A and B are shown apart, each in its own frame.
Chain A
Amino acid sequence: MDNLLWIFISALLVNNFVLTYFLGLCPFLGVSNSLETSARLGLATTFVMLVTAVCAWVLNTYVLIHAPYLRLICFIVVIASTVQFIEMLIKKLSPALFRAMGIFLPLITTNCAILGLAIFATNRGYGFWEGIVYALGAGIGFTLALVLLAGLREESELSNIPKLIKGTAMNLIIAGILSMAFMGFAGLFSST
Protein backbone atom coordinates (compact mmCIF):
# COMPACT_ATOMS: atom_id res chain seq x y z
CA MET A 1 0.00 0.00 0.00
CA ASP A 2 2.82 2.35 0.93
CA ASN A 3 4.52 1.53 -2.31
CA LEU A 4 1.44 2.42 -4.36
CA LEU A 5 1.04 5.73 -2.54
CA TRP A 6 4.70 6.47 -3.18
CA ILE A 7 4.30 5.80 -6.90
CA PHE A 8 1.23 8.03 -7.04
CA ILE A 9 2.82 11.02 -5.29
CA SER A 10 6.04 10.61 -7.20
CA ALA A 11 4.28 10.70 -10.58
CA LEU A 12 1.98 13.52 -9.45
CA LEU A 13 4.45 15.97 -7.95
CA VAL A 14 8.09 14.97 -7.70
CA ASN A 15 8.49 13.58 -11.22
CA ASN A 16 5.71 15.57 -12.82
CA PHE A 17 5.50 14.52 -16.47
CA VAL A 18 5.39 18.00 -17.91
CA LEU A 19 7.60 19.98 -15.59
CA THR A 20 10.33 17.41 -14.90
CA TYR A 21 10.33 15.01 -17.85
CA PHE A 22 9.20 17.54 -20.49
CA LEU A 23 6.62 15.11 -21.83
CA GLY A 24 3.46 16.35 -23.51
CA LEU A 25 4.79 19.83 -24.10
CA CYS A 26 2.92 20.34 -27.37
CA PRO A 27 -0.54 20.39 -25.77
CA PHE A 28 0.98 22.07 -22.73
CA LEU A 29 2.03 25.09 -24.77
CA GLY A 30 -0.63 24.85 -27.47
CA VAL A 31 -3.93 24.34 -25.68
CA SER A 32 -3.27 26.02 -22.36
CA ASN A 33 -4.86 29.36 -23.23
CA SER A 34 -8.17 28.74 -21.48
CA LEU A 35 -8.86 27.09 -18.15
CA GLU A 36 -11.85 25.10 -19.29
CA THR A 37 -10.20 23.60 -22.36
CA SER A 38 -7.14 22.59 -20.40
CA ALA A 39 -9.19 20.95 -17.66
CA ARG A 40 -11.04 18.91 -20.29
CA LEU A 41 -7.83 18.03 -22.09
CA GLY A 42 -6.34 16.95 -18.78
CA LEU A 43 -9.34 14.73 -18.05
CA ALA A 44 -9.11 13.11 -21.48
CA THR A 45 -5.34 12.60 -21.10
CA THR A 46 -5.77 10.96 -17.71
CA PHE A 47 -8.31 8.63 -19.24
CA VAL A 48 -6.07 7.70 -22.18
CA MET A 49 -3.19 7.15 -19.76
CA LEU A 50 -5.25 4.65 -17.79
CA VAL A 51 -6.11 2.80 -21.00
CA THR A 52 -2.43 2.91 -21.98
CA ALA A 53 -1.33 1.42 -18.67
CA VAL A 54 -3.69 -1.52 -19.13
CA CYS A 55 -2.61 -2.03 -22.76
CA ALA A 56 1.08 -1.83 -21.85
CA TRP A 57 0.64 -4.36 -19.07
CA VAL A 58 -1.21 -6.82 -21.33
CA LEU A 59 1.39 -6.45 -24.09
CA ASN A 60 4.33 -6.77 -21.72
CA THR A 61 2.95 -9.84 -20.01
CA TYR A 62 1.64 -11.83 -22.93
CA VAL A 63 3.19 -10.63 -26.19
CA LEU A 64 6.48 -8.81 -25.82
CA ILE A 65 8.33 -11.43 -23.80
CA HIS A 66 8.58 -13.30 -27.10
CA ALA A 67 9.69 -10.35 -29.21
CA PRO A 68 11.11 -7.41 -27.25
CA TYR A 69 12.29 -5.56 -30.37
CA LEU A 70 8.67 -5.05 -31.45
CA ARG A 71 7.92 -3.09 -28.28
CA LEU A 72 7.70 0.36 -29.79
CA ILE A 73 5.60 -0.54 -32.83
CA CYS A 74 3.27 -2.69 -30.73
CA PHE A 75 2.73 0.06 -28.16
CA ILE A 76 1.85 2.64 -30.78
CA VAL A 77 -0.48 0.48 -32.84
CA VAL A 78 -2.28 -1.11 -29.91
CA ILE A 79 -2.72 2.11 -27.94
CA ALA A 80 -3.96 4.06 -30.95
CA SER A 81 -6.50 1.44 -31.96
CA THR A 82 -7.74 0.85 -28.40
CA VAL A 83 -8.30 4.56 -27.91
CA GLN A 84 -10.15 4.77 -31.22
CA PHE A 85 -12.34 1.85 -30.20
CA ILE A 86 -13.13 3.36 -26.80
CA GLU A 87 -13.91 6.67 -28.47
CA MET A 88 -16.59 4.98 -30.56
CA LEU A 89 -17.89 3.22 -27.47
CA ILE A 90 -18.20 6.46 -25.51
CA LYS A 91 -19.92 8.15 -28.43
CA LYS A 92 -22.60 5.44 -28.39
CA LEU A 93 -22.98 5.09 -24.63
CA SER A 94 -22.53 8.56 -23.21
CA PRO A 95 -22.82 11.54 -25.59
CA ALA A 96 -22.28 13.97 -22.69
CA LEU A 97 -18.92 12.46 -21.80
CA PHE A 98 -18.04 12.38 -25.48
CA ARG A 99 -18.71 16.10 -25.82
CA ALA A 100 -16.51 16.78 -22.79
CA MET A 101 -13.43 15.02 -24.09
CA GLY A 102 -14.25 13.48 -27.46
CA ILE A 103 -12.39 15.74 -29.84
CA PHE A 104 -9.19 15.43 -27.86
CA LEU A 105 -8.97 11.64 -27.83
CA PRO A 106 -7.43 11.05 -31.28
CA LEU A 107 -5.03 13.97 -30.78
CA ILE A 108 -3.78 12.69 -27.45
CA THR A 109 -2.84 9.29 -28.79
CA THR A 110 0.19 10.73 -30.59
CA ASN A 111 1.20 12.74 -27.54
CA CYS A 112 4.63 11.81 -26.21
CA ALA A 113 3.34 11.71 -22.62
CA ILE A 114 1.23 8.66 -23.50
CA LEU A 115 4.05 6.72 -25.11
CA GLY A 116 6.39 7.93 -22.38
CA LEU A 117 4.08 6.52 -19.74
CA ALA A 118 4.07 3.10 -21.42
CA ILE A 119 7.86 3.10 -21.77
CA PHE A 120 8.58 4.32 -18.24
CA ALA A 121 6.17 1.81 -16.71
CA THR A 122 7.87 -0.97 -18.68
CA ASN A 123 11.40 0.13 -17.80
CA ARG A 124 10.55 0.19 -14.11
CA GLY A 125 8.89 -3.22 -14.27
CA TYR A 126 5.57 -2.09 -12.82
CA GLY A 127 2.85 -4.70 -12.33
CA PHE A 128 -0.83 -4.21 -13.08
CA TRP A 129 -1.92 -2.14 -10.07
CA GLU A 130 1.35 -0.23 -9.93
CA GLY A 131 0.87 0.68 -13.58
CA ILE A 132 -2.69 1.89 -12.99
CA VAL A 133 -1.69 4.03 -10.02
CA TYR A 134 1.29 5.41 -11.94
CA ALA A 135 -0.99 6.36 -14.85
CA LEU A 136 -3.46 8.02 -12.50
CA GLY A 137 -0.70 10.05 -10.83
CA ALA A 138 0.88 11.05 -14.13
CA GLY A 139 -2.49 12.04 -15.60
CA ILE A 140 -3.54 14.16 -12.65
CA GLY A 141 -0.06 15.68 -12.55
CA PHE A 142 -0.38 16.58 -16.24
CA THR A 143 -3.79 18.15 -15.60
CA LEU A 144 -2.39 20.07 -12.65
CA ALA A 145 0.48 21.54 -14.68
CA LEU A 146 -1.84 22.38 -17.57
CA VAL A 147 -4.42 24.09 -15.37
CA LEU A 148 -1.74 26.05 -13.51
CA LEU A 149 -0.23 27.35 -16.73
CA ALA A 150 -3.66 28.12 -18.21
CA GLY A 151 -4.59 30.14 -15.13
CA LEU A 152 -1.38 32.13 -15.30
CA ARG A 153 -1.84 32.73 -19.01
CA GLU A 154 -5.42 33.93 -18.57
CA GLU A 155 -4.19 36.40 -15.97
CA SER A 156 -1.39 37.59 -18.19
CA GLU A 157 -3.83 38.31 -21.04
CA LEU A 158 -5.22 41.14 -18.94
CA SER A 159 -1.94 42.72 -17.93
CA ASN A 160 0.36 44.97 -19.83
CA ILE A 161 3.21 42.90 -21.23
CA PRO A 162 5.86 44.04 -23.70
CA LYS A 163 5.09 42.89 -27.23
CA LEU A 164 8.54 41.36 -27.47
CA ILE A 165 8.03 38.66 -24.87
CA LYS A 166 4.42 37.70 -25.66
CA GLY A 167 3.76 34.19 -26.95
CA THR A 168 5.84 31.07 -26.62
CA ALA A 169 8.82 32.78 -25.04
CA MET A 170 6.75 33.97 -22.09
CA ASN A 171 5.01 30.61 -21.72
CA LEU A 172 8.35 28.85 -21.56
CA ILE A 173 9.66 31.22 -18.91
CA ILE A 174 6.46 30.78 -16.86
CA ALA A 175 6.87 27.02 -17.24
CA GLY A 176 10.47 27.33 -16.06
CA ILE A 177 9.38 29.12 -12.91
CA LEU A 178 6.62 26.55 -12.31
CA SER A 179 9.16 23.80 -12.79
CA MET A 180 11.43 25.46 -10.24
CA ALA A 181 8.54 25.54 -7.80
CA PHE A 182 7.86 21.85 -8.37
CA MET A 183 11.50 21.08 -7.61
CA GLY A 184 10.65 21.91 -4.04
CA PHE A 185 8.72 18.65 -3.86
CA ALA A 186 11.91 16.69 -4.49
CA GLY A 187 12.61 16.80 -0.75
CA LEU A 188 9.46 14.80 0.03
CA PHE A 189 11.23 11.48 -0.38
CA SER A 190 14.74 12.24 0.71
CA SER A 191 14.79 9.29 3.11
CA THR A 192 13.81 6.66 0.52
Chain B
Amino acid sequence: MKKNQSQEEFIKGIWRDNPVFVQVLGMCPMLAVTNSAINAIAMGMATFFVLVGSSFLVSTFRHVIPKQVRISCFIIIIATFVTIADYTLLALVPAVHKELGAFIPLIVANCLILGRQEAFASRYPTKLAVMDAMGMASGFLLALLSLGSIREILGDGALFGINLFGENFEPWVIMILPPGGFLTLGVILLFFNWFKLKKDEFLEDVAAAERGGN
Protein backbone atom coordinates (compact mmCIF):
# COMPACT_ATOMS: atom_id res chain seq x y z
CA MET B 1 0.00 0.00 0.00
CA LYS B 2 2.66 2.43 1.09
CA LYS B 3 4.90 1.63 -1.87
CA ASN B 4 1.98 2.12 -4.24
CA GLN B 5 1.21 5.50 -2.76
CA SER B 6 4.74 6.80 -3.18
CA GLN B 7 4.80 5.53 -6.76
CA GLU B 8 1.51 7.28 -7.32
CA GLU B 9 2.91 10.58 -6.01
CA PHE B 10 5.87 10.23 -8.34
CA ILE B 11 3.86 9.49 -11.47
CA LYS B 12 1.17 12.15 -11.03
CA GLY B 13 3.80 14.88 -11.30
CA ILE B 14 4.97 13.63 -14.67
CA TRP B 15 1.67 13.39 -16.47
CA ARG B 16 -1.66 14.01 -14.75
CA ASP B 17 -0.61 17.04 -12.72
CA ASN B 18 2.31 18.10 -14.89
CA PRO B 19 3.41 21.40 -13.36
CA VAL B 20 3.82 23.23 -16.66
CA PHE B 21 1.28 21.83 -19.07
CA VAL B 22 -1.57 21.19 -16.63
CA GLN B 23 -1.03 23.52 -13.67
CA VAL B 24 0.72 26.29 -15.66
CA LEU B 25 3.23 27.02 -12.89
CA GLY B 26 6.84 28.08 -13.09
CA MET B 27 6.45 29.92 -16.35
CA CYS B 28 9.24 32.45 -15.98
CA PRO B 29 12.25 30.09 -16.07
CA MET B 30 10.26 27.82 -18.37
CA LEU B 31 10.15 30.34 -21.20
CA ALA B 32 13.32 32.28 -20.54
CA VAL B 33 15.90 29.52 -20.74
CA THR B 34 14.41 27.10 -23.25
CA ASN B 35 16.10 28.49 -26.35
CA SER B 36 18.34 25.43 -26.49
CA ALA B 37 18.05 21.89 -25.18
CA ILE B 38 21.28 22.11 -23.15
CA ASN B 39 20.13 25.20 -21.26
CA ALA B 40 16.78 23.53 -20.63
CA ILE B 41 18.47 20.49 -19.11
CA ALA B 42 20.76 22.59 -16.90
CA MET B 43 17.79 24.58 -15.64
CA GLY B 44 15.75 21.41 -15.12
CA MET B 45 18.53 19.74 -13.13
CA ALA B 46 19.02 22.83 -10.95
CA THR B 47 15.29 23.01 -10.26
CA PHE B 48 15.23 19.26 -9.54
CA PHE B 49 17.98 19.65 -6.94
CA VAL B 50 16.34 22.65 -5.29
CA LEU B 51 12.85 21.17 -5.22
CA VAL B 52 13.89 17.76 -3.86
CA GLY B 53 16.29 19.27 -1.32
CA SER B 54 13.85 21.79 0.05
CA SER B 55 10.94 19.34 0.09
CA PHE B 56 13.11 16.97 2.12
CA LEU B 57 14.06 19.64 4.66
CA VAL B 58 10.59 21.17 4.89
CA SER B 59 8.84 17.88 5.47
CA THR B 60 11.46 16.71 7.96
CA PHE B 61 10.99 19.87 10.01
CA ARG B 62 7.28 20.25 9.39
CA HIS B 63 6.40 19.91 13.09
CA VAL B 64 9.07 22.40 14.17
CA ILE B 65 8.29 25.27 11.79
CA PRO B 66 5.70 27.61 13.36
CA LYS B 67 2.57 28.05 11.26
CA GLN B 68 2.64 31.87 11.24
CA VAL B 69 6.07 32.25 9.69
CA ARG B 70 6.09 29.11 7.54
CA ILE B 71 6.26 30.93 4.20
CA SER B 72 9.34 32.90 5.23
CA CYS B 73 10.96 29.70 6.50
CA PHE B 74 10.24 27.92 3.20
CA ILE B 75 11.68 30.79 1.22
CA ILE B 76 14.88 30.89 3.25
CA ILE B 77 15.32 27.11 2.86
CA ILE B 78 14.71 27.38 -0.89
CA ALA B 79 17.09 30.34 -1.22
CA THR B 80 19.82 28.35 0.52
CA PHE B 81 19.49 25.49 -1.95
CA VAL B 82 19.39 27.88 -4.88
CA THR B 83 22.61 29.51 -3.71
CA ILE B 84 24.24 26.06 -3.53
CA ALA B 85 23.00 25.22 -7.05
CA ASP B 86 24.19 28.59 -8.35
CA TYR B 87 27.75 28.16 -7.06
CA THR B 88 27.89 24.49 -8.13
CA LEU B 89 26.92 25.32 -11.70
CA LEU B 90 29.42 28.17 -11.74
CA ALA B 91 32.18 25.77 -10.70
CA LEU B 92 31.23 22.82 -12.94
CA VAL B 93 29.87 24.33 -16.17
CA PRO B 94 30.81 28.03 -16.32
CA ALA B 95 29.67 28.35 -19.95
CA VAL B 96 26.12 27.23 -19.21
CA HIS B 97 26.06 29.31 -16.04
CA LYS B 98 26.98 32.39 -18.04
CA GLU B 99 24.21 31.73 -20.54
CA LEU B 100 21.53 31.17 -17.89
CA GLY B 101 22.82 34.23 -16.02
CA ALA B 102 20.32 35.78 -13.66
CA PHE B 103 17.78 33.01 -14.17
CA ILE B 104 19.54 30.62 -11.78
CA PRO B 105 19.01 32.86 -8.72
CA LEU B 106 15.48 33.43 -9.99
CA ILE B 107 14.63 29.77 -9.30
CA VAL B 108 13.75 31.12 -5.84
CA ALA B 109 10.79 32.92 -7.31
CA ASN B 110 9.54 29.84 -9.18
CA CYS B 111 6.00 29.43 -7.89
CA LEU B 112 6.16 25.69 -8.51
CA ILE B 113 8.72 25.19 -5.72
CA LEU B 114 7.00 27.28 -3.06
CA GLY B 115 3.67 25.81 -4.13
CA ARG B 116 4.86 22.24 -3.52
CA GLN B 117 6.22 23.15 -0.07
CA GLU B 118 2.93 24.74 0.94
CA ALA B 119 0.62 22.18 -0.66
CA PHE B 120 2.50 18.96 -0.05
CA ALA B 121 5.83 18.87 1.77
CA SER B 122 4.61 20.67 4.89
CA ARG B 123 1.77 18.16 5.36
CA TYR B 124 3.14 14.73 4.50
CA PRO B 125 5.92 12.44 5.78
CA THR B 126 9.40 12.83 4.36
CA LYS B 127 9.35 9.84 2.03
CA LEU B 128 6.13 10.85 0.29
CA ALA B 129 7.27 14.48 0.08
CA VAL B 130 10.52 13.50 -1.61
CA MET B 131 8.70 11.25 -4.08
CA ASP B 132 6.25 14.03 -4.86
CA ALA B 133 9.08 16.53 -5.34
CA MET B 134 10.93 14.10 -7.62
CA GLY B 135 7.81 13.55 -9.71
CA MET B 136 7.04 17.23 -10.03
CA ALA B 137 10.65 18.09 -10.82
CA SER B 138 10.85 15.35 -13.45
CA GLY B 139 7.65 16.63 -15.01
CA PHE B 140 9.14 20.11 -15.05
CA LEU B 141 12.39 18.81 -16.55
CA LEU B 142 10.47 16.94 -19.26
CA ALA B 143 8.43 20.02 -20.10
CA LEU B 144 11.56 22.18 -20.27
CA LEU B 145 13.31 19.61 -22.44
CA SER B 146 10.43 19.26 -24.89
CA LEU B 147 10.04 23.01 -25.23
CA GLY B 148 13.80 23.50 -25.53
CA SER B 149 14.14 20.79 -28.17
CA ILE B 150 11.27 22.12 -30.28
CA ARG B 151 12.65 25.63 -30.17
CA GLU B 152 16.22 24.60 -30.91
CA ILE B 153 15.23 22.32 -33.81
CA LEU B 154 13.00 24.92 -35.44
CA GLY B 155 15.06 27.99 -34.63
CA ASP B 156 18.55 26.64 -35.12
CA GLY B 157 18.15 23.44 -37.11
CA ALA B 158 20.07 21.58 -34.46
CA LEU B 159 19.63 19.55 -31.28
CA PHE B 160 22.19 19.67 -28.44
CA GLY B 161 24.34 21.70 -30.84
CA ILE B 162 24.41 18.93 -33.46
CA ASN B 163 23.24 20.07 -36.88
CA LEU B 164 20.23 18.05 -38.06
CA PHE B 165 19.22 19.26 -41.49
CA GLY B 166 22.43 20.18 -43.25
CA GLU B 167 23.19 23.35 -45.19
CA ASN B 168 19.88 23.92 -46.92
CA PHE B 169 17.79 24.43 -43.80
CA GLU B 170 16.69 28.02 -43.31
CA PRO B 171 16.48 28.49 -39.51
CA TRP B 172 13.24 29.89 -38.16
CA VAL B 173 15.03 32.44 -36.01
CA ILE B 174 11.91 33.76 -34.29
CA MET B 175 11.64 30.46 -32.40
CA ILE B 176 14.79 31.01 -30.34
CA LEU B 177 13.87 34.65 -29.70
CA PRO B 178 11.43 35.55 -26.91
CA PRO B 179 8.21 35.47 -29.01
CA GLY B 180 8.99 31.87 -29.99
CA GLY B 181 8.78 30.84 -26.35
CA PHE B 182 5.28 32.24 -25.94
CA LEU B 183 4.09 30.80 -29.24
CA THR B 184 5.54 27.31 -28.69
CA LEU B 185 4.10 27.01 -25.19
CA GLY B 186 0.77 28.35 -26.45
CA VAL B 187 0.61 25.70 -29.14
CA ILE B 188 1.58 22.92 -26.73
CA LEU B 189 -1.14 24.03 -24.30
CA LEU B 190 -3.55 24.06 -27.21
CA PHE B 191 -2.70 20.44 -27.86
CA PHE B 192 -3.28 19.58 -24.19
CA ASN B 193 -6.65 21.38 -24.29
CA TRP B 194 -7.62 19.41 -27.35
CA PHE B 195 -6.62 16.17 -25.63
CA LYS B 196 -8.71 17.04 -22.56
CA LEU B 197 -11.71 18.09 -24.65
CA LYS B 198 -11.62 14.81 -26.60
CA LYS B 199 -11.37 12.85 -23.35
CA ASP B 200 -14.33 14.69 -21.82
CA GLU B 201 -16.38 14.07 -24.97
CA PHE B 202 -15.46 10.41 -24.87
CA LEU B 203 -16.46 10.09 -21.22
CA GLU B 204 -19.76 11.86 -21.93
CA ASP B 205 -20.44 9.49 -24.82
CA VAL B 206 -19.77 6.50 -22.58
CA ALA B 207 -22.07 7.91 -19.90
CA ALA B 208 -24.80 8.59 -22.47
CA ALA B 209 -24.47 5.10 -23.87
CA GLU B 210 -24.77 3.62 -20.39
CA ARG B 211 -27.87 5.68 -19.67
CA GLY B 212 -29.36 4.59 -23.02
CA GLY B 213 -28.61 0.96 -22.21
CA ASN B 214 -30.44 1.16 -18.92
Contact = CB atoms under 8 A, between A and B. Distances in A.
Contacts of A114: 109
Nearest to B191: A169
A80 interface: yes
9 contacts: A22-B27, A29-B27, A72-B105, A115-B105, A119-B106, A123-B102, A169-B190, A169-B193, A175-B182
A111 interface: yes
Which DSSP category, helix, strand, loop or mixed, fits chain B's interface?
helix
A76 B108 contact: yes
A114 B190 CA distance: 30
A29 B80 contact: no
A50 to B, nearest CB: 19
B28 A110 contact: no
Given A20-B178, A72-B83, A183-B177, A116 B183 contact: no
B182 A179 contact: yes
A25 B79 contact: no
A111 B83 contact: no
A120 B102 contact: yes
A183 B189 contact: no
A27 to B, nearest CB: 11
Given A25-B27, A164-B190, A172 B76 contact: no
Contacts of A73: 76, 79-80, 83
B179 interface: yes
Contacts of B76: 73, 76-77
Interface centre among A25, A111, A116 (most CB of B within 10 A): A25
Interface string A169-192: 111110111011001000000000
A163 B197 contact: yes
A21 B32 contact: yes
B152 to A, nearest CB: 17
A165 B186 CA distance: 9
B189 A76 contact: no
Contacts of B86: 72
A69 interface: yes
Contact of A172 (B75, B106, B183): B183
A113 to B, nearest CB: 8
A180 B189 contact: no
B186 A173 contact: yes
Interface of A: 19-26, 29, 69, 71-73, 76-77, 80, 110-112, 114-116, 119-120, 123, 163-165, 167-173, 175-177, 179-180, 183
Interface of B: 24, 27-28, 30-32, 72, 75-76, 79-80, 82-83, 86-87, 101-102, 105-106, 108-111, 114, 174, 177-183, 185-187, 189-190, 193-194, 197
A176 B179 contact: yes
A25 B31 contact: yes
A31 to B, nearest CB: 14
Nearest to A23: B28
Contacts of B179: 176-177, 179-180, 183
A120 B75 CA distance: 20
Nearest to B76: A73
Given A164-B193, A173-B182, A176-B186, A22 B102 contact: no
Contacts of B108: 72, 76, 115
B204 to A, nearest CB: 14
Q: Top 6 A-B pairs ranked by shortest CB distance? A: A176-B182, A112-B109, A172-B186, A173-B186, A176-B183, A169-B189
A72 B76 CA distance: 9
Interface centre among A76, A112, A177 (most CB of B within 10 A): A112
Contacts of B106: 23, 112, 115-116, 119
Given A172-B185, A179-B182, A110 B105 contact: no
